[in-house]
C-alpha cells in the first residue's frame, strides 16, 4: 500500500505542477481554444427565453421596401418613437446614429435652391421628438485613434464612483475620440450610451464593454444605460480589486465584469431569440398596445445590407442590436456570467484533483477498466463546467481540466507499460508454477520447432467444478479470503494433475480444465486422467478437515453444515478423443490450449454430475480405454447432449475398486453392499434397455427405498422415465435420452 501511495504522489505532483504552471503563466495562449470549447457548451444548452419584456423594432427588409434606402427621412423614425410612446413603452434605445444632417430635410433643399421662407427641418423635429419621448440615443467611440481629440461629450445622467482605484489597477478601456449625433439630436436626449462592441481574436463577440473612459470621464454603454434607467438607479459604483475592475454596482444589483469592465454575455440564443417587430408596422400602428406597453424597446436593424451583423457563439450572422438586448436582460435578470478572481484558485484545485483521481484509478484498478471509466470522468467534468457556467454564472477554465485528464492518462499508461515490462519475468515464473512444467520445458527446449503449432492429437480432457460456489463466495468475509480459499483448493488439485502427467489448461473461477497426452506423450492417458480424478476426490477429505479448523473459513464451514454438505465438494467430467492442440490466440497474446468436440463433451459431462448425483462422469470413449478391475463403475445413461446427434454412454466412476488406503469415497455402504446395489441396478438397466419398463421400475423402486443407497437421484430419474413410458408406450425404443440443456 505504501508503494502505491508513493506512485500516486509521484504521478500527481509533476503532472499537476506542470499543468498549473502552464495555466497560471501561459493560460492566455490557450484562451482562444478555451473560448471555442465554451461556445460548444452554449450550443449544447441551446436557446432560452428572455426573462424581461424586451422588444427589437427592426429596420428590416420589409421596412426598406416601404421607405426606401436607409437613412430615411428623420420624421419616419420620429413617428416610430411617437407611436411607441403613445402605446406606453417603458424605454426606447436607438442602436442607430445620426452623425450628419438629414439630406432629405426640406430646409436643406431650400438652402441649396436659395429659397426664402420657413421650411421643415427634419433634424429639429426629430430632436424635439427625442426630447419628449423616453429615448436613449446611441453614439460610438473610435478606439483606434492614438492621439487624444477633444470634442464635446454627451451629458452624463448618472454619477459614477470608482471604488478601490489606484494607478496599478486602472485597466478600464480608454478612448481618444468620440463620434456623436448631430447637436439637434444629441443635446435633446436625456440619456445616451455607446454601442461599441469588442470581439475576440477569432472574430466572435463574447464580451461587451459596459463602461469606457474618455477625457477622464466614465461613459456607459447603451445596454447598461437602458438597464440603469429601467432600475431607476442614478448612482453607479465601479468596483476595483488589485487585478482591475471586478464589477459595477447598480443599487443592490452587482454586474460582474472582467478587469477591463467588459461583461461576458449570457446569450439567450441565436438570432431572433428576442421579439422583433418591423419598423413599418410600428409606423402604421399595426400592433396592439399590450405588445409594447412597459416594454424596453431597442431600435436597430437586422438587414444584412446595413452592416450591423455580428458573429457570436450561437450564430455567425447575428444582428448587432440583439447584443444590447442580451446585455439588458442579463443585468435585469441577474444571471450574468463572470470570472471572479477566486476562479484561478478553483481552476488549479480542479486540475490537481483530476490528476490525483485519475492517478489513483490507474494505480488501484487495471488500465482497461480505467479506460472504461474515463468517459464517465470526462462527463462529470463537463457537467461541472456546465453547472458552473449556466447555473452559477461562473466561467471556469475548460481546456485545462480536459488536459489534466488526457495528460494523466497518457503518462499513466506509459508508466504502466514500463512496469509491465519490468514484471514480465516475474509473471512468467508465476505462470509456470500454475501449469504443467512440461509445457514450459517444451517451450524452452523446442523454441524453434513446431511442437507448439496447432495439430490434431488424441487427449483425455478433464473439467472439474466446485459445488455451491455462489454460496461459498457469499459467505466469505472478503475477496482476499475467498482467493485464499480457492488457493487452498487449487494448489493440491493442480499438484495431483501435474504429478500424473497432465497439463492444467486454465482456471475458470472455481473450475479447472486439464488434459493428458499433450504437449508430451502420456501412455495410458485415459487411465492416468481417471486416477488423477480419483486422487483429487480423495484429497478433498483431508482438505475439508483442514478448512474446518481454519478460522478464516468459519463462516463457510457453518454455511456448509447448514446445507448438510462438506465445505468443498466437486464434480468432474472426462472424455477421450481427437482434438486440436497447440498455441492459439493473437500475435501479441497466445496460449497453449486445446479445442474441439472432445473438450465440449467433457464440459457437458461435468455439468451433468448434479443431474446424475455423481462426482465423476466419463464417456464411453474413456471407459473403453480403462481396465475393468481397477475402478468401480456405474452405467448412468445413453444420451445425446445438446448440440450433438450421436448418442454416447455416460458412466460414473465411483472409486478405485479397492478404495485408497482402505478408504472409499462412498460413506453409507460397505464395498459388498455397494456391489449388491450395483448388481440389482444393472439388472434394472438391462430391463429398461429392452423396454421392459414394468420389471425395471419394480427394481428401481426397491433400490430407491434402500436406507444406505449410494445415489439419491438416479433411481428417481429412472422411476419417472419408466412411469412415463408405461403410460406412453414408445413405438421404437432405443434407450436414448436427449439432453436439451448443458446441465
- Residue 70's alpha-carbon distances to 9, 77, 98, 103, 666, in angstroms, are 68, 11, 12, 11, 108
In this structure, is residue 647 part of a structural domain? Answer: no
Q: Under 8 Å CB-to-CB from 417, ≥6 apart: which residues? A: none
The span from the CA of 75 to the CA of 661, in Å, is 121
Q: Which three cell numbers stand for residue 258?
A: 472582467
For residue 448, the model assigns a pLDDT of 45
Residues 325 and 344 both lie in one domain: no
The span from the CA of 537 to the CA of 543, in Å, is 10
Q: Looking at 119-128, 224-233, 536-545, 631-640, which range is the least confident one?
A: 119-128
- Residue 718's alpha-carbon distances to 551, 683, 695, 741, in angstroms, are 43, 13, 12, 19
* Residues constituting the chain: 743
**Domain around 20:** 2-32+340-411
The span from the CA of 624 to the CA of 628, in Å, is 9
Angle between helices 554-563 and 525-549 (to 10 degrees): 110
Considering only CA atoms, which of 538, 607, 551 is closest in space to residue 574? Answer: 607
Q: pLDDT tens, 689-708?
A: 999 999 999 999 999 999 88
Residues 400 and 488 both lie in one domain: no
Residue ending a domain, among 411, 444, 469, is 411
Considering only CA atoms, which of 345, 314, 337 is closest in space to residue 392? Answer: 337
Considering only CA atoms, which of 71, 76, 186 is closest in space to residue 135? Answer: 186
Residues 391 and 500 both lie in one domain: no
Considering only CA atoms, which of 630, 662, 635 is closest in space to residue 717? Answer: 635
Residues 360 and 476 both lie in one domain: no
Residues 404 and 444 both lie in one domain: no
The span from the CA of 494 to the CA of 502, in Å, is 9
Share of the chain above pLDDT 70, in %: 92
Residue ending a domain, among 569, 603, 637, is 603
For residue 143, the model assigns a pLDDT of 92
Residues 329 and 344 both lie in one domain: no
Q: pLDDT tens, 492-540?
A: 999 999 899 898 988 998 999 999 998 878 999 999 999 999 999 999 9
Please check whether residue 537 is in contact with residue 615, taking contact to mean a CB–CB distance below 8 angstroms: yes
For residue 431, the model assigns a pLDDT of 42
Q: Looking at 129-143, 180-194, 206-220, 640-654, which range is the least confident one?
A: 640-654
The span from the CA of 4 to the CA of 367, in Å, is 15
For residue 587, the model assigns a pLDDT of 61
Residues 319 and 174 both lie in one domain: yes
For residue 433, the model assigns a pLDDT of 47
The span from the CA of 514 to the CA of 528, in Å, is 12
In this structure, is residue 612 part of a structural domain? Answer: no
In this structure, is residue 725 part of a structural domain? Answer: no
For residue 548, the model assigns a pLDDT of 94
Please check whether residue 547 is in contact with residue 472, taking contact to mean a CB–CB distance below 8 angstroms: no
Please check whether residue 12 is in contact with residue 360, taking contact to mean a CB–CB distance below 8 angstroms: no
Helix extents (H) in 553-630: 554-563, 597-607, 609-612, 620-623
For residue 646, the model assigns a pLDDT of 83
For residue 213, the model assigns a pLDDT of 96
The span from the CA of 694 to the CA of 688, in Å, is 9
Question: What total of structural domains would you count in the chain?
Answer: 3
**Residue 519 CB-half CA count within 13 A:** 23
In this structure, is residue 60 part of a structural domain? Answer: yes
State the sign of the Cα–Cα–Cα–Cα dihedral 302, 304, 306, 307: positive
In this prediction the pTM is: 0.58
Q: Which three cell numbers stand for residue 196?
A: 461599441
3-state secondary structure of 237: strand
Give the CATH number, domain containing residue 548: 3.30.70.1230
- Residue 93's alpha-carbon distances to 195, 266, 398, in angstroms, are 11, 20, 36
Residues 396 and 433 both lie in one domain: no
What is the pLDDT averaged over residues 24-39? Answer: 86
Considering only CA atoms, which of 397, 414, 516 is closest in space to residue 457? Answer: 516
Distance of CA 411 to the CA centre of its chain: 21
For residue 491, the model assigns a pLDDT of 93
DSSP states of 699-733:
HHHHHHT-TT-S-SSHHHHHHHHHHHHHHS--SS-
Considering only CA atoms, which of 676, 686, 678, 684 is closest in space to residue 653? Answer: 678
The span from the CA of 493 to the CA of 487, in Å, is 10
Residues 327 and 344 both lie in one domain: no
Please check whether residue 532 is in contact with residue 462, taking contact to mean a CB–CB distance below 8 angstroms: yes
What is the pLDDT averaged over residues 663-690? Answer: 90
* 724: pLDDT strictly greater than 90: yes
Q: pLDDT tens, 45-81?
A: 999 999 999 999 999 999 999 999 888 999 999 999 9
Distance of CA 438 to the CA centre of its chain: 46
* 427: pLDDT strictly greater than 70: no
Q: pLDDT tens, 103-119?
A: 888 777 777 776 766 77
324 vs 15: which has the higher pLDDT: 324
In this structure, is residue 194 part of a structural domain? Answer: yes
Residues 235 and 366 both lie in one domain: no
Share of the chain above pLDDT 90, in %: 67
In this structure, is residue 41 part of a structural domain? Answer: no
Q: Which three cell numbers stand for residue 461?
A: 480432457
Burial of 137 (0-12, 13-18, 19+ CB in 10 A): buried
**Angle at the Cα of 729 (from 728 to 730), degrees rounded to 5?**
110
Residue ending a domain, among 376, 411, 446, is 411
In this structure, is residue 217 part of a structural domain? Answer: yes
What is the pLDDT averaged over residues 548-565? Answer: 92
Residues 132 and 253 both lie in one domain: yes
The span from the CA of 284 to the CA of 286, in Å, is 5
* 655: pLDDT strictly greater than 90: yes
For residue 684, whether the previous peptide bond is cis, meaning omega lies within 30 degrees of 0, is: no
Please check whether residue 438 is in contact with residue 520, taking contact to mean a CB–CB distance below 8 angstroms: yes
Residues 254 and 288 both lie in one domain: yes
For residue 442, the model assigns a pLDDT of 55
For residue 112, the model assigns a pLDDT of 73
Q: What are the percentages of helix, strand and coil residues in the chain, rounded to 5?
A: 45, 20, 35
The span from the CA of 447 to the CA of 713, in Å, is 50
- Residue 89's alpha-carbon distances to 25, 272, 283, in angstroms, are 50, 20, 14
In this structure, is residue 648 part of a structural domain? Answer: no
Burial of 340 (0-12, 13-18, 19+ CB in 10 A): middle
The model's confidence at residue 435, banded by pLDDT at 50, 70 and 90, is very low
The model's confidence at residue 430, banded by pLDDT at 50, 70 and 90, is very low
Q: pLDDT tens, 342-392?
A: 888 999 999 999 999 888 888 888 878 888 899 999 999 999 999 999 998
Q: Under 8 Å CB-to-CB from 615, ≥6 apart: which residues? A: 537, 569, 570, 571, 572, 609, 652, 665
- Residue 691's alpha-carbon distances to 131, 688, 696, 714, 726, in angstroms, are 117, 5, 9, 18, 9
* 739: pLDDT strictly greater than 80: no
Helix extents (H) in 342-398: 343-364, 367-386
Amino acid at each position: 500500500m505504501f508503494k502505491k501511495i508513493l506512485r500516486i504522489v509521484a504521478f500527481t505532483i509533476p503532472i499537476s505542477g506542470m499543468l498549473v504552471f502552464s495555466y497560471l503563466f501561459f493560460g492566455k495562449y490557450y484562451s482562444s481554444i478555451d473560448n471555442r470549447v465554451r461556445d460548444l457548451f452554449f450550443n449544447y444548452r441551446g436557446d432560452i427565453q428572455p426573462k424581461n419584456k424586451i422588444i427589437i423594432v427592426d429596420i428590416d427588409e420589409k421596412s426598406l421596401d416601404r421607405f426606401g434606402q436607409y437613412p430615411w427621412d428623420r420624421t419616419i423614425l420620429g413617428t416610430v418613437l411617437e407611436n411607441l410612446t403613445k402605446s406606453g413603452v417603458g424605454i426606447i434605445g436607438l442602436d442607430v446614429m445620426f452623425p450628419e444632417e438629414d439630406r432629405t430635410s426640406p430646409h436643406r433643399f431650400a438652402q441649396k435652391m436659395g429659397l426664402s421662407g420657413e421650411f421643415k427641418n427634419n433634424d429639429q423635429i426629430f430632436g424635439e421628438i427625442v426630447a419628449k419621448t423616453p429615448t436613449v440615443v446611441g453614439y460610438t467611440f473610435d478606439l483606434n485613434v492614438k492621439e487624444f481629440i477633444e470634442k464635446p461629450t454627451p451629458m452624463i445622467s448618472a454619477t459614477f464612483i470608482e471604488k478601490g482605484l489606484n494607478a496599478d489597477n486602472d485597466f478600464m478601456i480608454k478612448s481618444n475620440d468620440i463620434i456623436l449625433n448631430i447637436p439637434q439630436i444629441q443635446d435633446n436626449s436625456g440619456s445616451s450610451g455607446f454601442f461599441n462592441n469588442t470581439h475576440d481574436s477569432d472574430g466572435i463577440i463574447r464580451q461587451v464593454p459596459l463602461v469606457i473612459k474618455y477625457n477622464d470621464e466614465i461613459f456607459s454603454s447603451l445596454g447598461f444605460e437602458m438597464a440603469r434607467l429601467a432600475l431607476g438607479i442614478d448612482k453607479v459604483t465601479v468596483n476595483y480589486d488589485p487585478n482591475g475592475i471586478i464589477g459595477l454596482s447598480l443599487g443592490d444589483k452587482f454586474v460582474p465584469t472582467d478587469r477591463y469592465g467588459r461583461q461576458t454575455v449570457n446569450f439567450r440564443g441565436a438570432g431572433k431569440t428576442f421579439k422583433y417587430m418591423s419598423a413599418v408596422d410600428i409606423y402604421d400602428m399595426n400592433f396592439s398596445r399590450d405588445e409594447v406597453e412597459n416594454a424596453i424597446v431597442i431600435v436597430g436593424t437586422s438587414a444584412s445590407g446595413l452592416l450591423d451583423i455580428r458573429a457570436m457563439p450561437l450564430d455567425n450572422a447575428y444582428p448587432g442590436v440583439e447584443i444590447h438586448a442580451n446585455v439588458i436582460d442579463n443585468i435585469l435578470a441577474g444571471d450574468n456570467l463572470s470570472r471572479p478572481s477566486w476562479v484561478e484558485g478553483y481552476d488549479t484545485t480542479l486540475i490537481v484533483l483530476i490528476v490525483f483521481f485519475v492517478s489513483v484509478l490507474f494505480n488501484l484498478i487495471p488500465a482497461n477498466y480505467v479506460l472504461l471509466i474515463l468517459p464517465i470522468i470526462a462527463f462529470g467534468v463537463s457537467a461541472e463546467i456546465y453547472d458552473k457556467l449556466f447555473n452559477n454564472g461562473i466561467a471556469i477554465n475548460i481546456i485545462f481540466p480536459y488536459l489534466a485528464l488526457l495528460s494523466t492518462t497518457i503518462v499513466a499508461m506509459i508508466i504502466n507499460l514500463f512496469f509491465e515490462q519490468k514484471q514480465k519475468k516475474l509473471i512468467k515464473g508465476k505462470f509456470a508454477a500454475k501449469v504443467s512444467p512440461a509445457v514450459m520445458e517444451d517451450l524452452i527446449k523446442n523454441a524453434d520447432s513446431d511442437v507448439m503449432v496447432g495439430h490434431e492429437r488424441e487427449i483425455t480432457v478433464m473439467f472439474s467444478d466446485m459445488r455451491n460456489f455462489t454460496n461459498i463466495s457469499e459467505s466469505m468475509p472478503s475477496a482476499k479470503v475467498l482467493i485464499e480459499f480457492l488457493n487452498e483448493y487449487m494448489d493440491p488439485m493442480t499438484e495431483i494433475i501435474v504429478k500424473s502427467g497432465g497439463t492444467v489448461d486454465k482456471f475458470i473461477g472455481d473450475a479447472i480444465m486439464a488434459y493428458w497426452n499433450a504437449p508430451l506423450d502420456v501412455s495410458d492417458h485415459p487411465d492416468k486422467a481417471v486416477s488423477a480424478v480419483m486422487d483429487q476426490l480423495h484429497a478433498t477429505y483431508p482438505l475439508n478437515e483442514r478448512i474446518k479448523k481454519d478460522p478464516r473459513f468459519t463462516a463457510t464451514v457453518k454455511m456448509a453444515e447448514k446445507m448438510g454438505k462438506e465445505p468443498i465438494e466437486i464434480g468432474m467430467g472426462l472424455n477421450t478423443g481427437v482434438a486440436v492442440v497447440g498455441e492459439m490466440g493473437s500475435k501479441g497474446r497466445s496460449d497453449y490450449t486445446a479445442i474441439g468436440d472432445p473438450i465440449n463433451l467433457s464440459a457437458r459431462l461435468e455439468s451433468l454430475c448434479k443431474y446424475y448425483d455423481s462426482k465423476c462422469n466419463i464417456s464411453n470413449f474413456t471407459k473403453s480405454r480403462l481396465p475393468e478391475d481397477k475402478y468401480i463403475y456405474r452405467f448412468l445413461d445413453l444420451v445425446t447432449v445438446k448440440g450433438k446427434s450421436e448418442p454416447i454412454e455416460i458412466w460414473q466412476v465411483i472409486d478405485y475398486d479397492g478404495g485408497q488406503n482402505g478408504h472409499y469415497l462412498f460413506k453409507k455402504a460397505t464395498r459388498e453392499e455397494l456391489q449388491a446395489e450395483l448388481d440389482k441396478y444393472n439388472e434394472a438397466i438391462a430391463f429398461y434397455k429392452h423396454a421392459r419398463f414394468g420389471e425395471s421400475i419394480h427394481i428401481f423402486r426397491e433400490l430407491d427405498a434402500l436406507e444406505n443407497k449410494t445415489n439419491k437421484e438416479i433411481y428417481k430419474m429412472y422411476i419417472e422415465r419408466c412411469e412415463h413410458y408405461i403410460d406412453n408406450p414408445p413405438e421404437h425404443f432405443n434407450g436414448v435420452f436427449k439432453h436439451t440443456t448443458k446441465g
